[in-house]
A and B are shown apart, each in its own frame.
Chain A
Amino acid sequence: MPQDMDALMHYAKSFTGLTKEKEALLMAVGPQIIPELNAVTQKFYMHLSTIEQTKPFIEGRLETLQQTHEKWLAGLFSRHYDEEFTRFMHHVGDVHVKVKLPVEFMSGGMTLINNEITPLIFRLFSEDQAKCIAVLAAVNSATGFALLVMQQSYQEGSLAEELDRFLKISGMSKVLFSNLAEAYSE
């Protein structure tokens, strides 16, 4: 069933506390943060290269992955958190399913990003404590938003893959499965 991106966007925003004020703040601090994101990406992949389980997913693709990652990070501080961005993050989750990335890589990765961005924010905004706290909270909501949307997509993608396998094993057609589900719908 196709996901309702507008509903998912509102759900993710309400869950992560990503308010209009936080979105505006992320945009406002973007010009100061974006130039620093290359270093965040470098440290992110350096860390991943030290983990046995993540190594196989980055070997031979490091440069491309870094470029994509940095661009995505910059988007957190320059894009509107709208339906289009939600669809984009949903697609990112789909891609992760297709390359069979273990599900914990997403939350682990997002934690790493927060770990790297936090000291950056302290460094940039330490003179204004209130702003520093607000930016930290906004970044936390933004990465949480991205993670929630990706996980939603990941869950759907994984279920779809498992259903395909089940249908293949059982010999049931999709139409039969759909009729079976319909017969037992509440």
Chain B
Amino acid sequence: MRADMLTSVLTDLNGTSADIEASGIISTDGLMIASVLPQGMDEDRVGAMSAAMLSLGDRTAQELERGTLEQVLIKGENGYVLMSYAGDEAVLTVIAKPNAKLGLIFLDVKRAAENIKKLL
């Protein structure tokens, strides 16, 4: 039931922008809780890598005195990966297209993260 609700949050999130290609909710230990991923994308790898990146981001923000981490953004030739906390125990990862309008995506992701936090 809760998994369905979480998947529904992700489906809504993916629907808010055509630029969002995939999203997932991951435990801070790197295990996928819910996901809406394209076929062929390995959810174990997406999960573990996202949690690892967020953990490194957390430490980097602390080390470089940037305060509490809000998000980790990776930009590649083929688009973006955005990772944010959804509560203390989960990570919301979003994969977006190269020309994505990030401002809108940031807002939608923030909203989705709050909803996920309430559900977890």
Chain A residues in the interface with B (C-beta under 8 A)? 169-173, 175-177, 179-180, 182-184
Q: Looking at B42, B51, B58, which has the most chain A CB atoms within 10 Å of its CB? A: B51
Chain B residues in the interface with A (C-beta under 8 A)? 28-31, 42, 44-45, 47-49, 51-52, 55-56, 58-59
Give the residue of A169, A170, A171, A183 whose beta carbon is less than 8 angstroms from that of B30.
Answer: A183
Residues on the A chain within 8 Å of B51, using CB: 176, 179-180
From A167, which residue of chain B is reached at the shortest CB distance?
B55
Give the residue of B29, B42, B44 whose beta carbon is less than 8 angstroms from that of A176.
Answer: B29
Residues on the B chain within 8 Å of A170, using CB: 52, 55-56, 59
Q: Secondary structure at chain A's binding surface: helix, strand, loop or mixed?
A: helix
Question: Could you give 19 example pairs across A and B, Cβ below 8 Å?
Answer: A171-B55, A171-B56, A173-B29, A173-B55, A176-B29, A176-B48, A176-B51, A177-B52, A179-B30, A179-B47, A179-B51, A180-B49, A180-B51, A182-B48, A183-B30, A183-B42, A183-B47, A183-B48, A184-B48
Residues on the B chain within 8 Å of A179, using CB: 29-31, 44, 47-48, 51
A184 touches B45 (CB 8 A): yes
Residues on the A chain within 8 Å of B49, using CB: 180, 183
B44 touches A182 (CB 8 A): yes
Residues on the B chain within 8 Å of A175, using CB: 29-30
From A168, which residue of chain B is reached at the shortest CB distance?
B59
Residues on the B chain within 8 Å of A169, using CB: 59
Task: Give Cα A172 to B60, complex, Å.
Answer: 12
Residues on the B chain within 8 Å of A180, using CB: 30, 48-49, 51-52
